[in-house]
Structure 1
Amino acid sequence: MAWSGFTALNAAAWNFVSFFLVRMGVGVGEASYAPAANSLIGDLFPAEKRARAMGIFMLGLPLGLILAFFTVGAIAEAFDSWRAPFIVAAIPGFILALFFFKMKEPPRGASEGENYTAKTVQNPIRTLLKIKTLRWIILSGLSVNFAVYAGNSFFVPLFQRYFGLSLTQSAVITGCIVGITGLIGLTLGGVIADKIHQRFARGRLVFGAICLFISAIFIGIALYLGNDSLTAVVILLSLGWLASYNYYTTVYPAIQDVVEPNLRATAMAVYFACMYILGGAFGPIVVGALSDHFSQAAMLASGSAVMTEHFKAVGLHNALFVIPVALFFIAVFVYLSSRSFVQDTRRLQ
């Protein structure tokens, strides 16, 4: 309810400071929802089914991106106001919030056949950070949001500046790359991850690491091709983003597997705090700063004293190479988490 309320309040912002403060409220609402939802999934589904359940749950991410990139422009034009999309986006949240009051919460540890509800843990943060697998996963989360937020923020400007497309064309293409691919990646990836986990205890995380490594290669090649290969760039970026969605179907269930039920919400809260504060916040900032730097370098290299759209396009394109680099590090962190996964799950059992 708070999440949707702050979303609607964005429409009332009158300057940058007010908009920034309201956006902080949106973040608080989302931060409260995500740990609770992930903990609930852990209680409802056993380890061998969690990847599929998590994949279905995370479909909200690409669906939201699709709706955003495909409809926001049209809504703003229809109402002749940039404020209208915030009101429209808040309405489904208010409706869904009413159904949450009717949900019955299972006991902590229901899927494990043991009730953890009454159990308490002293120094929960310290207890969580002692889990080696979780430490690697936190590092991977920091890196994944760095890459994801950089792509979501700058793919539209990239297609506008570097490929010369219109805003509408750029938004639709970006919606396909970061949105539609998620519907496939999360659904299919969840099924594959669960099947691998049933055969090899650490196989799910290894599968995630391989997918992220493939993602880094595809996205790196797409950026290397340049602006004369639009079709190939879109295909490779789409395949790379599709592969990256397997991060969620492999890492999120792993957190549930190595953390005792009555600490899962806290574990997700710690994970998301690092993920958003250090990763999501700095991804766009770093890419923006690098874009300015490379634009300036391109202008100076040409001997020009005037910053043109061409130099800005080159600068943004070069800055986005941090995305495949970040994905490579994510693959490494996820693989390293797989090496301690079996030991940490046995400790929990």
Structure 2
Amino acid sequence: MESNSNQAKHAWRILILLFLANLLNFFDRTIPAIIIEPIRHEWDLSDLQLGIVGSAFTVIYAIAGLPLGRLADSWSRKKIIGWGLAIWSAFTALNGYAWNYLSFVSVRMGVGIGEASYAPAANSLIGDLFPSHKRARAVGIFMLGLPLGLVLAFFTVGAMVKSFGTWRAPFFIAALPGIILSIFFFFIREPERGAAESIQISKVTPAQPIRKVLRIPTMWWIILSGLTFNFAAYAVNSFLVSLLQRYYHFTLVKAAITTGFIVGITGLIGLTVGGLIADKIHQRSERGRLLFGAFNLLVSGVLILLALLQSQEMVLFFSILLGFGWLLSYNYYTCVYPAIQDVIEPRLRATAMAIYFAAMYLLGGAAGPAVVGWFSDYLTRSAMLRSGSSEMTEQFKAIGLHDSLYLIPVTVLLTSLFVFLASKSFAKDASEMKRSLERKA
């Protein structure tokens, strides 16, 4: 077990900055999901077109992440984060000037390029700031930026739209703190590669890095789990506000705040408590952390299914069941992200995260909103035809969107299976990583 001496001197201060940037990351990318109904009505969009807004962002995010992840393994990570944060904040402001659907989607792609620089470099930094037995807690705190970013967005964006009378206002307001925060990253003290490991690592970047990462069986199961989990997460984040407005007849502000509780407040509990439990389990059993994640995801999938089975009059039970299910799903991050650090050697971690993000965003995060949007349009038309009506109404669109979300519990349950399978190869792959470092030392 590593000692505290392997922890960087300013680790917690840097982690706070990383957390704040992560918060802004998810705040900025969540704004379109909240203003989805005003945009739909203004530009007369289908659910598939609405889903493509998130999917286009995610595709660019994933593609740009690969070269930027490789860059983070060889260049200054603090500069990559600083410039990336400034760029995505500037594009967020530009979103407020969109004049039609195409211009809106194009600017979102610019935001995606900026945000793609962040996760691989940030996770690589955390791996060098904290020793293995503290990484789940560190990742848990870092990932608190996700639910807090969602909470802040869902609790404030609706009010901004109401106060300023336009859906454009939140984009202008969100840009400023990101530009200010980006300046701080240029002044942090970046740790050496492998500084938190118990043995000294080679300063030479390994040859054929992508091939080396993909030779590790655990990484394949983790990549598949990221694909299915992100499908569910991005679909829910993209359409839950709209579902509450259409199916349960909430106002924009009420729908946004309710969504903030369901997918945001729950994450504060899931990530903080889950990170502590995962670290304690990991100290007793190498594969216990991933088994803990698999179990939580199994229960999560069942609860989400039960939530969707509730009638329109049972919106309170729908919210409670979905909220508890989403709370448990957050343990995915505190169990899987540290596992990647444990099976990948330090000079390949940013590359590994970039590969992981590319796969899960291209095939999961990008597919989620688009597939659910397409399925919603299909089920909407089916509901209209079954009724014998020839006129499309908001009632049919509400039914179509609700029923399309049954894809979510299916993908969460698949995630549970993939995390379980990752646990079976984890101990062997983690031991092999340590032996590889010893041979190179």
Q: Which TM-score bucket, shorter chain as reference? A: over 0.9
Residues 136-158 of structure 1: CA deviation (Å, up to 9, x unaligned):
11111111111001101111121
| Gaps in structure 2 of 5+ consecutive residues | 1-85, 435-441
| Larger displacement relative to structure 2 (72-81 or 121-130) | 72-81
Aligned partner letter, 1:15: N
Q: Distance in 2 between matches of 1:275 and 1:82?
A: 30
Aligned to 1:223: 308
CA contact (8 A) 1:42 1:256 kept: yes
Q: Distance in 2 between matches of 1:275 and 1:49?
A: 25
The 1:243/1:25 distance shift into structure 2, 3 A limit, reads same
Displacement, 1:302? 2.0
| Larger displacement relative to structure 2 (293-302 or 265-274) | 293-302
Q: Distance in 1 between matches of 2:433 and 2:146?
A: 30
Which of 126, 145, 156 is 2:241 aligned to? 156
Which of 187, 199, 215 is 2:272 aligned to? 187
Aligned to 1:263: 348
User: Would you say 1:68 and 2:159 are equivalent positions?
Assistant: no
Displacement, 1:15? 2.9
Residues 40-97 of structure 1: CA deviation (Å, up to 9, x unaligned):
1111111111111001001111111111111112223333332221121111111211
C-alpha RMSD of the superposition: 1.3
Displacement, 1:117? 6.0
Aligned to 2:380: 295
Which of 27, 45, 48 is 2:133 aligned to? 48
Aligned to 2:360: 275
Which of 195, 199, 221 is 1:136 aligned to? 221
Aligned partner letter, 1:3: W
The 1:91/1:116 distance shift into structure 2, 3 A limit, reads farther
Write the mapping of 1:171-186 to structure 2, written as runs, cut at 5 A: 171-186=256-271
Aligned to 1:240: 325
Displacement, 1:115? 4.1
The 1:122/1:143 distance shift into structure 2, 3 A limit, reads same
Which of 15, 18, 24 is 2:100 aligned to? 15
The 1:108/1:21 distance shift into structure 2, 3 A limit, reads same
* Residue-pair matches, total: 349
Displacement, 1:227? 1.2
Displacement, 1:132? 0.5
Displacement, 1:333? 0.6
Which of 330, 336, 343 is 1:251 aligned to? 336
The 1:216/1:307 distance shift into structure 2, 3 A limit, reads same
Displacement, 1:19? 2.3
Aligned partner letter, 1:216: G
Q: Distance in 1 between matches of 2:379 and 2:404?
A: 7
The 1:120/1:72 distance shift into structure 2, 3 A limit, reads same
Displacement, 1:239? 0.1
What TM-score do you get using the length of structure 1 for normalisation? Answer: 0.97
CA contact (8 A) 2:229 2:412 kept: yes
Aligned to 2:398: 313
Aligned partner letter, 2:307: A
Write the mapping of 1:93-172 to structure 2, written as runs, cut at 5 A: 93-116=178-201, 118-172=203-257
Aligned partner letter, 1:272: F
Displacement, 1:102? 1.3
Q: Distance in 2 between matches of 1:256 and 1:55?
A: 14
User: Would you say 1:205 and 2:290 are equivalent positions?
Assistant: yes
Q: Distance in 2 between matches of 1:312 and 1:79?
A: 28
The 1:117/1:81 distance shift into structure 2, 3 A limit, reads farther
Aligned partner letter, 1:5: A
The 1:79/1:314 distance shift into structure 2, 3 A limit, reads closer
Displacement, 1:329? 0.5
Aligned partner letter, 1:32: S
Q: Distance in 1 between matches of 2:164 and 2:303?
A: 39
CA contact (8 A) 2:141 2:271 kept: yes
CA contact (8 A) 1:145 1:275 kept: yes
Paired residue secondary structure (2:390): coil
The 1:36/1:229 distance shift into structure 2, 3 A limit, reads same
Aligned partner letter, 2:171: F
Residues 218-251 of structure 1: CA deviation (Å, up to 9, x unaligned):
0000001221211111100000000000000000
Displacement, 1:12? 2.8
Residues 327-349 of structure 1: CA deviation (Å, up to 9, x unaligned):
00000111110100000001011
Displacement, 1:17? 2.8
Displacement, 1:121? 1.1
The 1:98/1:115 distance shift into structure 2, 3 A limit, reads farther
Identity of paired residues, percent? 62
Aligned partner letter, 1:155: L
Paired residue secondary structure (1:118): coil
| Gaps in structure 1 of 5+ consecutive residues | none
Q: Distance in 2 between matches of 1:288 and 1:64?
A: 24
Displacement, 1:295? 1.5
What TM-score do you get using the length of structure 2 for normalisation? Answer: 0.77
User: Would you say 1:329 and 2:329 are equivalent positions?
Assistant: no
Aligned to 2:65: none
Displacement, 1:167? 1.8
Displacement, 1:32? 0.6
CA contact (8 A) 1:6 1:22 kept: yes
Displacement, 1:277? 1.7
